Amino acid sequence: MSRHPDFKTIEATREDWEKLEWHLNKTVNPEWKVGRGTGATDDSWKSLKKVEIDPYAEGRRVGDNYKLMISAITPRFIGFVSTISKDEKTTNLAPFSYTTMVAHDPPMMVIGFSSSMENKKDTLQNILDTGELVINVISEWFLEAANYTSINAPPGVSEFDLSGLTPAPSSKVKPPQVAESAFSIEAKLVSHHPWVSPATGKTTGVTIFAQGVNFHVREDMWVEGSEGSIVDIGKLKPISRLGGIMYGRTTAGAELPRPDFAKEAEKEDVKALL
């Protein structure tokens, strides 16, 4: 049974999706000075206490930690992972927000699965069986289709078929990439690690490390940056994961150069802090 049975009724009361173009703003406080902390920007934290939470306190459920973490650790990149079964008869497609890059040389990605080794999700089973996967970026233009692939379809059913998304051939791995995605990473499994709950002693999750072996970028996404070609964030329009059933958009940003200590240490206001 759906946990959100009246969702369409609720959604009907909301504003239509607004077309927003990527843009850069000033920072929150362009006049910020070294050593000021929040300064005049926001001092509300001074009058507010933090609540301390032991993840395994008596009476605390595992689900409580899940809700806390996914609502606070945001926004999260969504690894839209395509795989193929061991017999190569069924493709699988599913979104995973416990995904990020951890190295660029070699290109390394990690994906976390909220399932045990005894009750593997189809994606995890396929990766362990074949050692191959493709990680695709979800963009605004196929959000609904991507979300539909999170359905609890049984093994043997392809989420490509259910969502209507298009499989496209990969070059160095057997799983297809998502044609609608503007950026895809063909990858191969390096290792995996199951996690054991301190409370129950049972495996409750699995993390895989995968090395990128080939990239696919839509041709109109390339822009020249200060250090070479980069993907245009304004065209990529990536979707991120928030808490509950919420997704996030990437529509604005701000730039700040990284300070150089040798140069900063020559300034009088910095010297006073050293």
Does 45 fall in a domain?
Answer: no
The pTM of this model reads: 0.93
CATH label of the domain that carries residue 195: 2.30.110.10
**Alpha carbons 186 and 20: distance in angstroms, whole number:** 30
Does 39 fall in a domain?
Answer: no
Quote the pLDDT of residue 80: 98
Q: Which of 108, 109, 105, 78 is nearest to 94 (CA)?
A: 78
Number of structural domains the chain divides into: 1
Which residues, listed in sequence order, are joined to residue 110 by a DSSP beta bridge? 100, 209
pLDDT per position in the chain (274 positions), as tens?
456 668 889 999 999 999 999 999 999 889 888 988 876 677 888 899 999 999 999 999 888 999 999 999 999 999 999 999 999 999 999 999 999 999 999 999 999 999 888 888 999 999 999 999 999 999 999 999 999 999 999 999 999 999 999 999 999 999 999 999 999 999 999 999 999 999 889 999 999 999 999 999 999 998 887 677 899 999 999 999 999 999 999 999 999 999 999 999 999 999 999 9
Does 33 fall in a domain?
Answer: no
Does 195 fall in a domain?
Answer: yes
Quote the pLDDT of residue 167: 98
Quote the pLDDT of residue 226: 67
Quote the pLDDT of residue 44: 85
Neighbours of 181 (CB within 10 A): 25
Does 216 fall in a domain?
Answer: yes
Quote the pLDDT of residue 40: 62
Tokens 């191959």 label which residue? 132
Full residue range of the structural domain in which residue 137 is found: 60-271
Does 72 fall in a domain?
Answer: yes
Does 91 fall in a domain?
Answer: yes
Residue pair 211/221 in contact (Cβ under 8 Å)? The answer is: no
Does 18 fall in a domain?
Answer: no
Quote the pLDDT of residue 1: 45
